[in-house]
Every structure is written in structure tokens, then in C-alpha cells.
Structure 1
Amino acid sequence: SPLTAGPNPRAANEANRYREDGTFYGDRNFAVLEVNGPRRERVLKITIFDTAGNEVWNRSIEAKDLQ
């Protein structure tokens, strides 16, 4: 959702089988996605920041983990 949208803290209690433990953040935020590495060894790094620009969390997903 856009930075100007309000957060939905109730989503923390909703069932979501796709949510990774420790990744829910119920305040306004934005994300930076970085893709690095050679073609068959790519790594996606997801970093979530609060509205002040402070890092909240980050996760890296390797291509090999998606196959």
C-alpha cells in the first residue's frame, strides 16, 4: 500500500499462511527490494523501513530456495 495509506494493525491477527514469522509490521512503512547475483544464483533482499527511514527488518531469499 502507498506510504499515505493508513496501517491495518488488525491484520496481525488474521490467518495468513504466506506470512513469515517476524515479518508483520503494523505501522506505516515502505520497502526496498534488491536483486543481486548471477542469473542462476540470484538473491532477493527485502528491507522494511519505518516512515523515519529506520530499518525494521530484512530478509533474503535465494533462488535455490524457490525451486
Structure 2
Amino acid sequence: MPRASDATRPVILQAAYNLFRRRGFFRVGMEEIAEAAGVTKRTLYYHFDSKDALLTAVLVSQ
């Protein structure tokens, strides 16, 4: 059975991708990404150490 965190990562990546594409990397904050993904900032930082790390993961996943 998959863990909840396994399902959370793709949701975060998709939310970040959508926001980065729409508004640009520098105009989007981690709090906004967390809100769009429906997770807490703590959960977001559990999966990604920084916004740069999140961007890298978004680019690799596309």
C-alpha cells in the first residue's frame, strides 16, 4: 500500500509547475505553492529543501 507522502510529492510538483509557468519562478513563494498543493509549508519542506530544489524536481519530472 502506498504511503500518503508518495501521493503528496506529485501533487506538489504539479502545483509548483502550474504556478511557475503562470507567474514565473521569482514571483511565486513556497507558501503559495503549499497552499495550491493543499499541504502545509512543513510538508512542502519535508519533500523539498528549497525552492531551487523544487524547481529542479519540476524540470526533471517534465
**Structure with the greater alpha carbon radius of gyration:** 1
Q: Same fold by TM (over 0.5)?
A: no
Q: TM-score range with shorter-chain normalisation?
A: under 0.3
Greater share of strand residues, 1 or 2? Answer: 1
Higher relative contact order (CA 8 A, sep 6+): 2
TM-score of the two chains, using structure 2 as the length reference: 0.22
Normalised by the length of structure 1, the TM-score is 0.22
More helix per residue: 2
